[in-house]
Structure 1
Amino acid sequence: MIGIVIPAHNEEMLIGPCLARARACARDPALGGERVEIVVVADRCSDATASIAARSGARVLDVDARNVGLARATGASALLALGARWLAFTDADTLVAEDWLSQQLALDAEAVCGTVEVTDWTPHGENALFLSRHFATSYLDVDGHRHVHGANLGVAAHAYLRAGGFQELACSEDVALVTELERTGARICWSARPRVCTSARKVARAPGGFADALLNVVASQFLGKPAVA
């Protein structure tokens, strides 16, 4: 069985489309009919995220931590208990491609670090053009990149357990896991083949995540400092 983990904090506007795409990739003929379980970890949600996810057919786990590392770990543990051999992680503001899972598995690695793309920069208003150009010129959306995104990450169950799983970190939990995967000798593929499209929203759900990184890039143009991708 293959498992998909989606942490969510007050994502009632986005969780529906996210799950629709996750269900579509679960039906990919290239998976040969293997069962795919989708777990949404609703972390301190005060909106309709959990109910929307449940109506969409996902397993919903409620936690009260406001900690993305704990949320991802909780979802992974539940799927491992159900017998998952492969864990795929994405985010509630992200749309995965229909062949997202099959592309991860086809790479024949113990872990796959994928890239992200952004198609709508309008949340950043007058800075949208600057950000889109900066992203296009500084971000490596190619095989062999060294980006780490919790929105596009896959790992074999045995490698995940050997690395100790996700740590209870409020941010950079994905980087910490990949660091441990490297330390424990996992075969990691850095690939642009598994595709996801993520949002460029300005209000971060997890401090230090992609949204904050984009805001830092915008701030750098006014401070006269080199922008960091």
Structure 2
Amino acid sequence: MKIAIVIPAHNEAMTIANCLASVQTAIAQLPSTIAAYPLVVLDSCTDETLTIVKGTGVDYISYDYRCVGRVRDLGIRHAITHGATWIACTDADSVVTKDWLVQQITHITDQPTDMICGVVSVDSWVNLTPQTRADYMAHYQDMMGHRHIHGANLSFSSEAYLTVGGFAPLRCHEDVDLVKKFESKGYAITWSNRVRVITSSRLDARATEGFAAFLANLEKGNLQ
């Protein structure tokens, strides 16, 4: 098995180093029989993201689309052509847990699956109102069998990905669209809270209807 961890990045100089460090830690927990490597897909970066990525020695490719669905797809297809059989997606403003990849392998081994939808935790609630946190916690199902979909914590087999046609060139909700494609083809999906990612509580959204926008809308409602 060869795992590629594909990470899109648009102006993520403040967060990319921590993201990559967490991914490298997760890779180090894998048995020697499993190869894994991160691939950063830079998209229209005008800050120091590229410089930071170069400094880590991590593989990267660069595009200028400002479209997360398109660059995710290009990065994944690049990884597949280089032999990746399993793709793990996260985001540059997130950090994965130490056992993030180990838990994915455990799921695949215990009950073969074509896709794993993991959960996310928010890194800090300090800058948000207590009501926003309460509303979020009431909404979020942190349990096995949840039905949340996060591009920051989504993994799948390369073969199935190619069969369904991959991520659509969407600026947001490309992750939801991909899961629907897997479901429509009858692929096995594991909805796991053992595969975990910690994501940023920032309200400055890179995707207009992404996770940051979701938090921002909650916060806006509670400040009115």
TM-score, normalising length: structure 1: 0.92
The letter for the 2-side match of 1:66 is R
1:195 Cα deviation after fit: 1.2
Q: Secondary structure at the match of 1:155?
A: strand
Secondary structure of 1:151's aligned partner:
helix
**What are the equivalent positions in structure 2 for 1:94-109 lying under 5 Å apart?**
94-108=94-108, 109=113
Alpha-carbon distance between aligned partners in 2 of 1:54 and 1:188, rounded to the nearest angstrom: 35
Secondary structure in 2 matching 1:192: strand
Measured in 2, the distance between the counterparts of 1:222 and 1:47 equals: 31
Question: In structure 1, what is the equivalent of residue 122 of structure 2?
Answer: 118
Residues 111-136 of structure 1 deviation map (CA, whole Å, 9 limit, x = unaligned): 00001001302233xx2x12222222
What SS is found at the alignment partner of 2:38?
strand
- Between the aligned residues of both structures, percent identity stands at 41
Contact kept, 8 Å, 1:38 with 1:58, in 2: the verdict is yes
The 3-state SS of whatever aligns with 1:88 is strand
Aligned to 1:2: 3
The equivalent residue for 1:38 is: 38
* Gaps in structure 2 of 5+ consecutive residues: none
Do the aligned partners of 1:88 and 1:154 also contact (CA within 8 Å) in 2?
yes
Separation in 1, partners of 2:36, 2:192: 22
**Secondary structure in 1 matching 2:198:** strand
Give me the whole-angstrom Cα distance separating, in 2, the residues matched to 1:179 and 1:120.
31
CA distance in 2 between partners of 1:144 and 1:75 (Å): 29
> SS of 1:122's equivalent?
coil
Deviation string, structure 1 residues 146-188 (Cα, Å, up to 9, x no partner):
0000000000111111111011000000000000010111100
Q: CA deviation at 1:222?
A: 5.7
User: What stretches of structure 1 of length at least 5 have no aligned partner?
Assistant: 224-229
How many angstroms apart in 1 are the aligned matches of 2:221 and 2:183? 31
Question: Paired residue for 1:136?
Answer: 137
Aligned residues between the structures: 219
Structure 1 residues 46-74: Cα deviation after superposition (integer angstroms, max 9, x where no partner): 01101211221211111101100011111
Amino acid at match of 1:213: F
2:95 aligned with 1:91, yes or no?
no
Distance 2:189 2:65 in 1: 30
Question: In 2, Cα distance between the equivalents of 1:44 and 1:58?
Answer: 18
Moved over 2 A (4+): 218-223
Aligned partner of 2:169 in structure 1 is 168
CA deviation map 1:89-140 (0-9, x unaligned): 000010101111121121121100001001302233xx2x122222222200
- For the residues of structure 2 that align with 1:81 and 1:190, how far apart are their CA atoms? 28
- Aligned AA (1:55): G
- Which structure features the higher share of strand residues? 2
Does the aligned pair in 1 maintain the 2:131–2:222 contact within 8 Å?
no
Separation of aligned partners in 1, 2:149 and 2:89:
12
Pairwise CA RMSD of aligned residues? 1.3
SS in 2 for 1:195: strand
8 Å Cα contact 1:114/1:148 also seen in 2: yes
Counterparts of 2:162 and 2:105, CA distance in 1:
18
Corresponding letter in the other structure for 1:139: Y
SS of the residue 1:113 aligns to? strand
